[in-house]
Homo-oligomer: A and B are copies of this chain.
Amino acid sequence: MKLDDAAARLEALGNPTRLRIYRTLVRAGAEGMAVGKLQDRLDIAASTLSHHLKALVGVGLVTQTREGTTLICHTNYEIMRGLLEYMVEECCAESCAPAGIRLPKVA
C-alpha cells in the first residue's frame, strides 16, 4: 500500500461519525447492514450518512451490494488488513515490534 492510499484511508476513519459507521458495520459481521438501518442506529441525516459512506466506499474500506431497494454495506477486511499491515510495517518498524505487535502472514 502506498503512503497516499494509507493516508486517505486513515483520513476516512479519522472522523468520529465515519469511525462509528465503520465500527457499526464491523459489528454487523458478514451479513452487513443496510444504509437505512445504519441511519436508524446512528441517528444522523440520510444525506449526511450517504456522504460519509461515499467517503468510506471511495477508499475501499466499505463495499455495497444492492438488494432490491435497499443497499447493504459491508466492511472490506482485506483493505483494513492492508492498512494495519502498512501501519505496523511502515509506521512501527522496530518500535512497536518490541511492544509485541505482530501481523502474522495469512496461510
Query: Which residue numbers of A lie inside 8 Å of B, CB to CB?
Result: 3-4, 6-16, 18-20, 22-23, 26-27, 29, 75, 77-78, 80-81, 84, 87-88, 90-96, 99-107
Copies in the complex: 2
The residue from B9, B13, B19, B87 contacting A84, defined by CB atoms under 8 A apart? B87
Looking at chain A's contact residues, the main secondary structure is: helix
| Nearest-Cβ distance from residue A76 to partner chain B, whole angstroms | 9
CA A90 to CA B27, docked complex, whole Å: 8
Contact B77 A95 (CB under 8 A): yes
B-chain residues with CB within 8 Å of residue A80 when the two chains form the complex: 87, 91-92, 95-96
Q: Which residue of B lies closest to A83 (CB)?
A: B87
CA A67 to CA B76, docked complex, whole Å: 45
Contact B20 A92 (CB under 8 A): no
B-chain residues with CB within 8 Å of residue A90 when the two chains form the complex: 23, 26
8 contacts between A and B (CB under 8 A): A3-B23, A7-B18, A8-B14, A9-B14, A26-B90, A84-B101, A100-B105, A101-B104
